[in-house]
Amino acid sequence: VTEEYSKKLMELACKLLGVLSEAMGLETEALTKACVDMDQKVVVNFYPKCPQPDLTLGLKRHTDPGTITLLLQDTVGGLQATRDNGKTWITVQPVEGAFVVNLGDHGHYLSNGRFRNADHQAVVNSNSSRLSIATFQNPAPDATVYPLKIREGEKSVLDEPITFAEMYRRKMS
């Protein structure tokens, strides 16, 4: 079951990357080609209920480093996103059977910032425990990170091409 789930989510991620490629005016496979030997990590997160949720945080504010993340939430919810650098947090309401799609840092760089990486956090609930399954699609560590298309008059969001491993190291330092 797990192997089939992973396979189907990789297929879905590739289809979504195809749509983003076309939106950038590129060939459908451009983003998936840039994710040479794409890697997948599946993470199951359990957040126990907490009587004082304001005293803890399930997962602090961050962006995902990879290309694209597919998140399956239970009905409790707890994912929050921000568009204004953390001043306002919007709760992402769970929809049964639907995935939340987050673009990661790698996807942001490939699009030269045209598509934003999702700044988000996870909060706990005072009444119910929460379960989520995040599937991260990442390029190989030695894959080159660079904008696939720079429009006329645009500046590159990266000073120089780097590897995904180096991009990740810089993010974590």
User: 132 forms bridges with which residues in the sheet?
Assistant: 45, 73
* Arithmetic mean of pLDDT, 114-118: 93
- Higher local confidence (pLDDT), 145 or 35: 145
User: Cα dist. 62→74, 86, 94, 114, 127 in Å?
Assistant: 21, 10, 20, 19, 25
pLDDT at 36: 67
**pLDDT confidence bin for 58, thresholds 50/70/90:** confident
In this prediction the pTM is 0.91
What is the domain-level CATH number for residue 87? 2.60.120.330
C-alpha–C-alpha distance, residues 50 and 125, integer Å: 6
Q: Which contiguous run of DSSP H or E holds residue 130?
A: strand 130-138
Asked if 6 and 42 touch (Cβ cutoff 8 Å), the reply is yes
The overall average pLDDT reported for the chain is: 92
Average pLDDT (108-122) is 94
Lowest mean pLDDT among 52-61, 140-149, 158-167: 52-61
> pLDDT band at 57, cuts 50/70/90?
confident
How confident is residue 53, by pLDDT bands cut at 50, 70 and 90?
confident
Number of domains in the chain: 1
Q: Can you tell me the distance from the alpha carbon of 166 to that of 141, in angstroms, rounded to the nearest whole number?
A: 8
Domain housing 89: 2-172
> Tell me, what's the pLDDT at 46?
93
Coil/strand/helix, residue 15: helix
CA-based end-to-end distance of the chain = 37
Give the DSSP letter of residue 132: E
- Sheet holding 79-81: strands in order across? 59-62, 120-122, 79-81, 90-91
